[in-house]
Homo-oligomer: A and B are copies of this chain.
């Protein structure tokens, strides 16, 4: 989307000769902290430049704008483009196809979700949770909602191999109380709950929390109500060009966590995994690289 019109900056420079003294003063301020200076109210801008508000308008008109708000719109667009530029550049590799194929459109959005999710994540908390999950003195329980249970399963699947004492809560809520009996202050409960949030899960989390269980929550950008009683919460952006949510951003965190936990317990888990491998008589078609 190349700008049809010239940049405001350029317009100012081009028109500079035709500008009057106070207009130039204004222009100077405008250029000085470009472009944000121009996005204040006309009053503040005028005050900052030490000129009157009509001067601002007169200049805007000279530059070819309809009025001050019109100039501001142009500036806003510029800034938006400026800010988006690095991203769109990075995404350039798919731009050609993106218009054509839904898969690429989808990928585009997922990528944005990942970025924003990571920008927002608290790496300190990430480390804390990794440590928590690596602590084998703490029994681990994993549970997910109707849809998110697959993500829960993924985490369970790996952790259960890496360390002992990991339990996946059954799918039906009516068996959960049995698990709750076993949970205490040393336990950790990992919950996956994305919209639409499930009442059962919230209840589970509440009771567990009351029992002193450490609750780790994976949820979407809006946040499951469980967040209120969770000790750690990961928010992943899930909106996708689909009537379904995309859990990839969350999956990313999960995988990274698994990697961290594995690293932390490398010595202990190594033999555990080797034993397990031995049990499976899977054909070894590929070398273990790295």
Closest beta carbon of chain B to A172's beta carbon, Å: 13
Say yes or no for A131: interface residue by CB 8 A criterion.
no
Chain A interface, number of residues (Cβ within 8 angstroms): 96
Instruction: Report which of B107, B118, B199 forms a contact with A118, defined as CB distance below 8 A.
Output: B107
Please tell me if the beta carbons of B258 and A244 are within 8 angstroms of each other in the complex.
yes
Closest B-chain residue to A78, C-beta based? B36
Most chain B CB within 10 A, of A221, A225, A243, A281, is at A243
Complex-state Cα separation, A253 to B227, whole angstroms: 30
A residues apposed to B, CB below 8 Å: 9-10, 13, 16-17, 19, 24, 27-28, 31, 33, 35-36, 39-40, 76, 79-80, 82-83, 86-87, 89-91, 93-94, 97, 100-104, 106-107, 110-111, 114-116, 118-121, 123, 126, 146-147, 149-151, 153-154, 157-158, 195-199, 221-223, 225, 227-228, 235, 237, 239-244, 246-248, 251-253, 255-256, 258-260, 262-263, 266, 280-286, 290
B-chain residues with CB within 8 Å of residue A106 when the two chains form the complex: 252, 255-256, 259
Residues of B within 8 A of A114 (CB): 107, 110-111
State whether A16 and B255 are in contact (beta carbons under 8 Å apart), knowing that A31-B221, A150-B154, A262-B244 are contacts in the complex.
no
Kindly report which residue of chain B lies nearest to residue A246, judged by CB atoms. B255
Interface CB pairs A-B, < 8 A, 9: A13-B120, A31-B116, A94-B118, A102-B256, A146-B280, A195-B285, A196-B280, A242-B262, A243-B290
Give A155 to B120 CA distance when docked, in angstroms.
28
